[in-house]
Each structure stands twice: as C-alpha cells, then as structure tokens.
Amino acid sequence: METKKYQIDISGVRIDVYLADKLGWTRSRVKKLCDDGFVFVNEKAAKSNKILKLGEEVSLTLPDNKNLDLEPENIPLDIVYQDDDVAVINKPQGLTVHAGNGTNGSTLVNALLYHLDNLSGINGVIRPGIVHRIDKNTSGLLVVAKNDVAHISLAKQLEDKTCSRIYVALLEGVLKDDKGRVATFIGRNPKDRTKMAVLSSGRDAITDYKVIKRYENYTLCEFSLKTGRTHQIRVHAKHLGHPIVGDKEYGYKNQKFKLNGQLLHAMRLKFVHPTKNCPVEFSCPLPDYFEKILKSIK
C-alpha cells in the first residue's frame, strides 16, 4: 500500500472534491476509499462530505492494484439466479471477490468474466459488476449487477438500507440474550491496517442478532446487517465477547476445529429487482463443512 499526505492550505472545501482534484479521480472513487476507511484527517477516519479546514493534514492510503490480471477464468460458480440485469452467486469460502492488496487473479470477478456475458462498469475495471462484497473466507449469497442501471438501483438500496442480508454464524461460547442489536462505530485498526476495530472515530455500524440454537459451548446465531462496514459481523461478534468459530483474525488464535476460515454464511438475500420493481428473495443452505461442525457439537 502507498500512503499520500497533504497539508491543507485552504478552508471550506469538501474532502472528496479536494482529493478528486489532487488525484485526478472521480468523487465516487474517493467516496469509496472514505467508506472503506482509507482516508484520514488529522489521523481520524473521514467521511467523504468532511469540510476541510486550513492547516489540517489529510492522509490517504492507496490499495495496491498494480499488475492486476483481469482475464476470464473458468472457476466453477454456483449461480443461484440470473437474468439480463442481475446474477445472484453463492460464493464459496476461500474465493476472494475482487483483485487488490496482493490478490492477483483467481477471484470471483475473474470467474464472472468467464461465466457471464455482461457486467456493470460503474466500479471500473477492478470490480466490474460488484455492488457489495463478502470476505474471502465467508461463504454465501451476493448479488452482481450486469448493467449500470441495475448497479445504480442496487447500490441505492444498500445505501437506503432497504435490502435485507441475513447471515448465520457459529459463535464461541453461549450468548446470553435471545436477540439484540449491536450499534458501534467501526474503522481501520490503527495497530493493524488490514483489520477493523470498534473505534469512536469510525463509521456507524449496526447489526441485529437472534439466537437460533444454543449448544454447550457454542451459539448458532442469525445476523442481519443494517449497515455494510468491512468485517462488520466479525467485529461485532468479537465486541459481544463471542467471536465466530474459525475466525483467527478476530477470534481465538488456537482453534478447536481444523477450518479454512470463519463459520459465517450469507444465507438469505432480499432486494427489489432493478427493472421488474418487485421484491425478490434468495436463500442457500449452509455449506457441508459448516453442517459437519454442527453435527459434531450436538
């Protein structure tokens, strides 16, 4: 990653306008970096509408997207649904959504370029069709836009929180409350920029949860995203004191089960179809390795 710093010599300008002019980028691209926690003012995470003041220091971390290979690759995909506007994919654990930060090729985007005829271009050549993401080691549903009209509609629904994304996770320990809401601020961990953390200087993050089943030492839990911050459910599970089983980044370093990642699965997805203007809903079962762990702890 590359970090750029600027000493502000004017007042009253929005940070997205300032950086777009400095870097020759679009404001939407700058907003994306702000949303992902890569832009700071005086070492505090900044929103894209932040008004700058004279003498402030702006720092910007640029993800390393050099030498990216965006060739189509014949990677097997579980395409749950597709039409001329959208495709709903059941992403397997271990597949990165798009290239960047050391990942070059063999991503979901490479697979989409092979299997689908069209993808929206709003997110540029690095992330064609990608409206929202799922972590590499999280499995489950995500919707892909096949044209710009669909992309704009889906992005608006995500922004307005009118779409529904339901995840299932197995948590360490026994969660006391049957249901609840976690509302915090999440930002880049200042000690490790690859991780997120609950920070007063972060962006608002809201997750609802509901217990599905309690085991002797674990809890099967449903999570509903109300915002879409990076690693949000994983950070909030840790904040509850019950990290996700298999999550070595936010959970226990010494895991009981031999897993390739966290037991977190995007099980249900609901949104309004961009052109048909009717609600559509999709679901997919837990992966075999997830079911195997549940059977072993009964």
Which one is catalytic: 135, 148, 178, 288?
A: 135
* DSSP secondary structure letters along the chain: -EEEEEE---SS-BHHHHHHHHHT--HHHHHHHHHTT-EEETTEE--TTPBP-TT-EEEEEEP--TT----------EEEEE-SSEEEEEEPTT--SS-BTTB-SSSHHHHHHHH-S----TTTTTSTTBSS---TT-EEEEEEESSHHHHHHHHHHHHHT-SEEEEEEEEES--SSSEEEEEEEEEEETTEEEEEEE-TTSEEEEEEEEEEEE-SSEEEEEEEESS--TTHHHHHHHHTT-PBTT-TTTS-SS-SS--SS--EEEEEEEEE-TTT-SEEEEE-PPPHHHHHHHHHT-
Identify whether 36 is a catalytic site residue.
no
- List residues with catalytic annotation: 135
